[in-house]
Amino acid sequence: MTRVALTVNDEKRIVETPPMKRLLDVLREDLHLTGAKEGCGEGECGACAVLMNGDLVNSCLVPILQTQGAEIITIEGIAIDKKLHPIQQCFLEQGGAQCGICTPGMILATYHLLENIPQPTLLQIQEGLNGNLCRCTGYMRIFNSVLAAAA
Ligand code: FES
Ligand code: FES
């Protein structure tokens, strides 16, 4: 077991856990933050994406040991005053979420994209979300959600 101190959604947390336990599992099982989803478990789908020190990472690929002192933001951490974040609201209004498995990762990828490129073109949106797969929406509703959030 190892002891890891990290910050999750602006809250300091300490976990005692096997050092190679995946960040995804620590979030879901130890910290009861079940927003990040497991799709592929192999770094291919983005369903488990979270922000780590400002970078978008697939939490299924991150051993908890690597998060010592890190700042993690999950989908639970972006709401403002218990209201949906504007990106979440746009996904809701534009039909950008269907089954919802990809949605937390899509929204965090959008959050990351808009922090770097506040008004992206469609091509920049496609590139920004290219690590996130969706089996339901056909993507246009997701791209429209991002365009609406950037407007
Ligand atoms: Fe992590 Fe698919 S579950 S990338
Ligand atoms: Fe179902 Fe994207 S909404 S996988």
Give the tens place of pLDDT for each residue, 56-69: 999 999 999 999 99
pLDDT score recorded for residue 80: 85
pLDDT for 117: 98
Exposed e or buried b per residue across 98-125, where buried means at least 16 C-beta atoms within 10 angstroms of its C-beta: eeebbbbbbbbbbbbbbeeeeebeeeeb
Confidence band of 115 (pLDDT split at 50, 70, 90): very high
CA of residue 36 to ligand 1 center, whole Å: 9
Distance, C-alpha 66 to centroid of its chain: 18
- Which ligand sits closest to the CA of 101? 2
How far is C-alpha 70 from the chain's CA centre? 15
Domain boundaries, the chain: 2-77, 86-150
> What is the predicted pLDDT for the residue at 12?
98
The answer to whether residue 137 scores a pLDDT higher than 90 is yes
Q: Residue 81 pLDDT > 90, yes or no?
A: no
Distance of CA 130 to the CA centre of its chain: 14
**In this prediction, does ipTM exceed 0.90?**
yes
**Annotation: CATH topology of 86-150:** DNA polymerase; domain 1 (1.10.150)
Nearest ligand 1 atom to the CA of 131 is 4
Which atom of ligand 2 has the smallest separation from the CA of 136? 1
Host H or E run for residue 37:
none
Measured by CA distance, the residue closest to atom 1 of ligand 2 is: 99
Q: Specify the CATH number for 2-77; select among 3.30.300.30, 1.10.150.120, 3.40.50.970, 3.10.20.30.
A: 3.10.20.30
For ligand 2, say whether the CB of 122 is within 6 Å of any of its atoms: no
pTM listed for this prediction: 0.96
Strands 49-52 and 55-58: antiparallel
CB 25 within 8 A of CB 37: no
Q: What is the pLDDT of residues 17-75, one digit of tens each?
A: 999 999 999 999 999 999 999 999 999 999 999 999 999 999 999 999 999 999 999 99
Query: Which pLDDT band, with edges at 50, 70 and 90, does 82 fall under?
Result: confident
